[in-house]
Amino acid sequence: MSYQNLLLEQPEPGIYLLTINRPQVLNALNAAMLNELAEVVALVAADAAARVLLITGAGDKAFVAGGDISEMQSLTADQARAFSEKGMRFMHALEALPVPVIALVQGYALGGGCELAMACDWIIASERAVFGQPEVNLGIPPGFGGTQRLARLVGRARALELVTTARQVKAEEALAIGLVTQVVPAAELRERGLAVARTIAAKGPVAVGLAKQAVQRGQDLDLVNACAYETAAFALAFSTEDQREGMHAFLEKRVAKFSGK
């Protein structure tokens, strides 16, 4: 499938690599791109063979430098609400994918780009990555979940400081505050992402999906109920072919061949 603003490829079986491809405007998000991104999420969700989705940006200057201001500047309040809701629906759908989603960030991830990266399950950043929520410079707050996801990742006080000052955060600080999980040389970013994806793709896909759901849903529950959710996921796994294959392979001292069933 071809897209106007995106490149989607499968460099290896089960591994999708999505590239935001508007380098002439630093990969800025607009309504047309959000529509295409939603299509990609639906495609990956429908693929039983999918194991990991990697998301990156074209060029070396930006992951996504923000929303497309030329499109946003003339929006009415009602149109702005619709645009925010469109972005929110995509971010929620991205989070709900049953496979891990990893952002590979080089250059700027600002505004909507930072929000997109945070909607992924985790972020691997190049040493040249820069993050921020600069919307208050434009007279608006974040609109694609930035106030909420940033607070959940780095804490309420630090999130408020970053959002209200529009201060940009370079890669090493992003690592120190828990916004990203690792920082790598720019030339190694793609290969590091693929290496992590290969590792995940070799595991039991049902178990990976259940673990992702447990982490996501459990964080909004109290500990007792979150652990009860984990118990339910653990039990459900014992009804799968993957559980039987994984344990048999372990006892037989061979590599498991998971089917995702």
Residue 108: beta bridge partners? Answer: 62, 130
Q: How many of the other CB atoms lie within 10 Å of CB of 228?
A: 13
Q: Does domain 6-201 have CATH number 3.40.50.2300?
A: no
Residue 173 among the catalytic residues: no
The domain made up of 205-251 has a fold known as Lyase 2-enoyl-coa Hydratase; Chain  A, domain 2 (1.10.12)
| Amino acid at residue number 246 | G
All structural domains of the chain with their residue ranges: 6-201, 205-251
Per the residue annotation, which of 95, 115, 161, 172 is the catalytic one? 115
If one counts every other C-beta atom within 10 angstroms of the C-beta of residue 242, the result is: 20
Determine which one of 71, 127, 135, 173 is catalytic.
135
To the query of whether residue 115 is one of the catalytic residues in this protein, the response is yes
Per-residue b or e along 102-127, where b marks 16 or more CB atoms closer than 10 Å to that residue's CB: bbbbbbbbbbbbbbbbbbbbbbbbbe
pLDDT (tens place) for every residue of the chain, 261 residues total: 689 999 999 999 999 999 999 999 999 999 999 999 999 999 999 999 999 999 999 999 999 999 899 999 999 999 999 999 999 999 999 999 999 999 999 999 999 999 999 999 999 999 999 999 999 999 999 999 999 999 999 999 999 999 999 999 999 999 999 999 999 999 999 999 999 999 999 999 999 999 999 999 999 899 999 999 999 999 999 999 999 999 999 999 999 999 889
